[in-house]
Amino acid sequence: MTARATAGARRHRLRPARILLYVMVTLLAFAWLVPIVGAIIASFRPYAETIRAGAFSWPHTLTLDNYRNAWSQGDIPHKYLNTAVILFPALVFTLFFSSMVAFVTSRYSWRFNVLLLSLFTAGNLLPQQIIIQPLFQFYNRVPLPEFLSNSGKLNGSVWGLILIHVAFQSGFCTFVLSNYMKLLPKSLNDAARIDGAGVWKQYWQIILPLTLPALAALATLEFTWIYNDFFWAVVLEQQGADRPITSSLANLGGQFFTDDNLIAAASMFVALPTLIVYLALQRYFIAGLTIGAEKG
């Protein structure tokens, strides 16, 4: 109450400074919107008009042609499907696996707990390019039956991408979830144990339901991260047609999309799912980032 009152008093005293602050932040926010708003406008304009008047001009003609062309030339629906087939299994298994490790290491005393958590945390921080050469060679040597992989190998199959996403992302998720689970009262386990509940029951029926807020936050964040993956898919799925949507940008550029407005429309197709998830689930998104950081 008093804090608010003094803050109010100061606000009066610092009036000009405060106006300056508003002006600065507003100008900066405008600048920040320019690329996205620019891309949205460009994507609805005929390229000829942009060429004539420049991107920084009032749009006179609005058209869906760029979207129509990007959709068919870039084979966007197929690319969305490729993404979904990888994204959802990867997301579920990442959360499932990391919640199991987080549960055991945070709810029981075991001498290798810290070592195990360090391993996961450190693994997640490595740049992906460090492991790509051996990983690629390994994937190339694991045969898969025809009905599981067009290439007949782990390399170039959705399975290879799902596996590396789960392996890599479980580092971050284990770290966050173990931090979260540690804060749940220890007595929960003991009470359950005295009631005769086994380890699995304690995990699945007692701790996991209490971890749902953290899981929801992580799911939102991991959705975006796995969706946004470019590197793994560029290297481990070299068939352009089978690539998920984000990584397909690597070959869409020169091949199909020659004009800037078409590129802008294609970019909007790629950006749209993450923007929707962000706008709908903003709270979870930011919670996911911050439980990771606060405890770190």
Partner 1 sequence: MATAADIGTPTTQAQSQLKSLTGAKAGRLQQFEGHDRWVVLAMLGIPTFLHVALVWIPTVASILLSFTDWKGIRISDIQWVGLRNYEQIFTVFQKSFFQALINNSVLLVFLFIGPTTLGILLAYLLDRDIRGTRFYQGIFFTPVVLSLAVVGFIWKSVIYSTDSGLATQLFGGGHSIDWLGNQSFVIPIGDRFGVSANFLAILVAIAWRHTGYIMVLYLAGLKSVDSSLREAAMLDGSTEWQTFRHVVFPSLKPINVVIVVITVIEALRAFDIIYVLKTPRKTEVLSILTTNNLLGEGGGNVGRGSAYATILFILCFGFVIWYVTNHFRNTQEGADS
Footprint on residues 197-256 left by partner 1 (CB under 8 A): 198-200, 203, 224, 227-231, 234-235, 238, 246-247, 249-250, 253-254
Q: Tokens in use for 194?
A: 């005295």
Q: Which stretch binds partner 1 (CB under 8 A): 26-34, 70-78, 80-88, 209-217?
A: 26-34
Closest CB 296 distance from partner 1, rounded Å = 5
Q: Is 261 in the site for partner 1 (CB under 8 A)?
A: yes
Place of tokens 């958590």: 117
Residue number, 84 or 250, with CB nearest to partner 1: 250
Residue number, 99 or 147, with CB nearest to partner 1: 99
Q: Tokens in use for 246?
A: 């984000």
Closest CB 171 distance from partner 1, rounded Å = 7
Q: Is 29 in the site for partner 1 (CB under 8 A)?
A: yes
Q: Is 16 in the site for partner 1 (CB under 8 A)?
A: no
**Vertex 98 angle, CA 133 and 90, to 5°:** 60
Binding to partner 1 (CB under 8 A) within 71-100 occurs at: 97-98, 100
Residue number, 112 or 147, with CB nearest to partner 1: 112
Place of tokens 């940008």: 249
- What are the φ/ψ torsions at residue 36 (nearest 5 degrees)? -70, -50
Bridge partners of 273, per DSSP, are none
Q: Is 22 in the site for partner 1 (CB under 8 A)?
A: yes
Binding to partner 1 (CB under 8 A) within 105-164 occurs at: 105-106, 108-111, 113-114, 116-123, 125-138, 140, 163-164
Closest CB 258 distance from partner 1, rounded Å = 11
* Nearest-angstrom CA–CA distance, 45 and 55: 9
CB 121 within 8 A of CB 176: no
How many other CB atoms are found less than 10 A from the CB of residue 73?
A: 14
Instruction: Check residue 229 and give left, alpha or beta (phi > 0: left; psi -120 to 50: alpha).
Output: beta
Residue number, 125 or 195, with CB nearest to partner 1: 125
- One of 61, 88, 186, 212 touching partner 1 (CB under 8 A): 186
Residue number, 209 or 296, with CB nearest to partner 1: 296
* Nearest-angstrom CA–CA distance, 187 and 189: 5
Amino acid at 104: V
Q: Is 50 in the site for partner 1 (CB under 8 A)?
A: yes
* Nearest-angstrom CA–CA distance, 94 and 27: 41
Q: Is 12 in the site for partner 1 (CB under 8 A)?
A: no
- What are the φ/ψ torsions at residue 282 (nearest 5 degrees)? -50, -45
- One of 27, 92, 190, 255 touching partner 1 (CB under 8 A): 190
Residue number, 146 or 197, with CB nearest to partner 1: 197
- One of 19, 23, 27, 34 touching partner 1 (CB under 8 A): 34
How many other CB atoms are found less than 10 A from the CB of residue 191?
A: 13
CB 207 within 8 A of CB 284: no
CB 50 within 8 A of CB 39: no
Closest CB 200 distance from partner 1, rounded Å = 5
Q: Is 15 in the site for partner 1 (CB under 8 A)?
A: no
